[in-house]
């Protein structure tokens, strides 16, 4: 059976797609990235807190840190972290790809590659988000737990660093508005503020789904508020 997906859908699959970079394409990608975040959170919520995975072991670090470091080494070998929105949490000593990779069109200002807020994401995830959406408890499935944490961290990081494309599109749409404050080094976070029209409604519907797993309904609104505030802050 031949596959012929909807052309608009396909075109919007990759926000960094060169000349077709547009606010609509970026928004489409952001919505998909948010689905990935919610899938990852739902999967992690199936397991309880499992705190031993986060306490320092013999080697000095926690299982969670060990897993994220090693998983990123493997992903780098496979050719990951070549695009501006794929930013590793531990960028020191990542090996080069061992398999051939395909180049990606450079659509962002070179400065964009140095933008990284993963330290803030790491702290927010482990200190604030994780205790909110996981139940107290220890079922002993530590390896599975930290693999699910890694998926959550990667999804959050990708979505947040996609904000680089938002900034680029907004700048290209009105360079005359943004160039003077950029030269004057004014903080542009407010000017580049980005809201997706149906973002909140999608997030709410997904979070309601989350309730069927481990959370009390009243917690949802707290989680929704924290996550939204965090995502919007970096958009």
3-class secondary structure per residue, the chain: CCCCCCHHHHHCCCCCCHHHCCHHHHHHHHHHHHHHHHHHHHHHHCCCCCHHHHCCCCCCCCHHHHHHHHHHHHHHHHCCCCCCCCCCCCCCCCCCCCCCCCCCCCCCCHHHHHCCCHHHHHHHHHHHHHHHHCCCCCCCCHHHHHHHHHHHHHHHHHHHHCHHHHHHHHHHHCHHHHHHHHHCCCCCCCCCCCCCCCHHHHHHHHHHHHCCCCCCHHHHHHHHHHHHHHHHHHC
Site for a second copy in 86-125 (CB under 8 A): 86, 97-104
Report the residue number, 196 or 214, with the smaller CB distance to a second copy. Answer: 214
Q: Which of 54, 79, 112, 188 binds a second copy (CB under 8 A)?
A: 79
Report the residue number, 58 or 184, with the smaller CB distance to a second copy. Answer: 58
Report the residue number, 4 or 127, with the smaller CB distance to a second copy. Answer: 4
Q: Which of 27, 84, 134, 199 binds a second copy (CB under 8 A)?
A: 134
Least Cβ distance, residue 231 to a second copy (angstroms): 19
33: closest CA among 166, 222, 122? 166
Cα(136)–Cα(14) distance, rounded to whole angstroms? Answer: 38
Under rule CB under 8 A, residue 224 binds a second copy? no
Least Cβ distance, residue 64 to a second copy (angstroms): 9
Under rule CB under 8 A, residue 173 binds a second copy? no
Q: Tokens for 100?
A: 């051939």
Under rule CB under 8 A, residue 226 binds a second copy? no
Report the residue number, 42 or 178, with the smaller CB distance to a second copy. Answer: 42
Least Cβ distance, residue 112 to a second copy (angstroms): 18
Q: Which of 20, 22, 39, 202 binds a second copy (CB under 8 A)?
A: 39
15: closest CA among 87, 102, 86, 72? 86
Report the residue number, 61 or 181, with the smaller CB distance to a second copy. Answer: 61
Least Cβ distance, residue 21 to a second copy (angstroms): 15
Residues at the interface with a second copy (CB under 8 A): 1-5, 9-10, 13-14, 32, 35-36, 39, 42-43, 46-48, 52, 57, 59, 63, 66-67, 70-71, 74-75, 77-80, 86, 97-104, 132, 134-144, 146-147, 151, 213-216, 219, 222
């Amino acid at each position: 059976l031949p596959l012929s997906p909807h052309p608009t859908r396909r075109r919007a699959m990759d926000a960094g797609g060169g000349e077709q970079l547009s606010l609509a394409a970026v928004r489409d990608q952001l919505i998909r990235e948010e689905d990935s975040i919610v899938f990852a959170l739902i999967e992690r919520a199936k397991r309880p807190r499992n705190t031993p995975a986060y306490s320092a072991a013999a080697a000095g670090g926690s299982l969670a840190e060990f897993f994220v470091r090693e998983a990123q080494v493997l992903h780098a070998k496979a050719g990951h972290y070549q695009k501006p929105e794929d930013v590793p949490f531990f960028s020191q000593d990542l090996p080069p790809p061992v398999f051939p990779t395909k180049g990606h069109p450079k659509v962002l200002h070179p400065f964009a590659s140095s933008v990284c807020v993963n330290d803030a994401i790491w702290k927010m995830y482990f200190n604030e988000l994780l205790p909110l959406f996981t139940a107290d408890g220890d079922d002993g499935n530590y390896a599975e737990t930290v693999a699910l944490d890694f998926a959550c961290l990667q999804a959050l990081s990708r979505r947040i660093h996609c904000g680089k494309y938002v900034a680029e599109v907004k700048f290209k749409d009105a360079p005359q508005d943004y160039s003077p404050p950029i030269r004057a080094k004014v903080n542009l976070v407010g000017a580049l503020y980005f809201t997706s029209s149906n973002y909140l409604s999608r997030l709410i519907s997904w979070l309601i789904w989350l309730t069927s797993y481990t959370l009390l309904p009243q917690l949802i609104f707290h989680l929704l508020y924290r996550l939204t505030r965090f995502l919007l802050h970096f958009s």
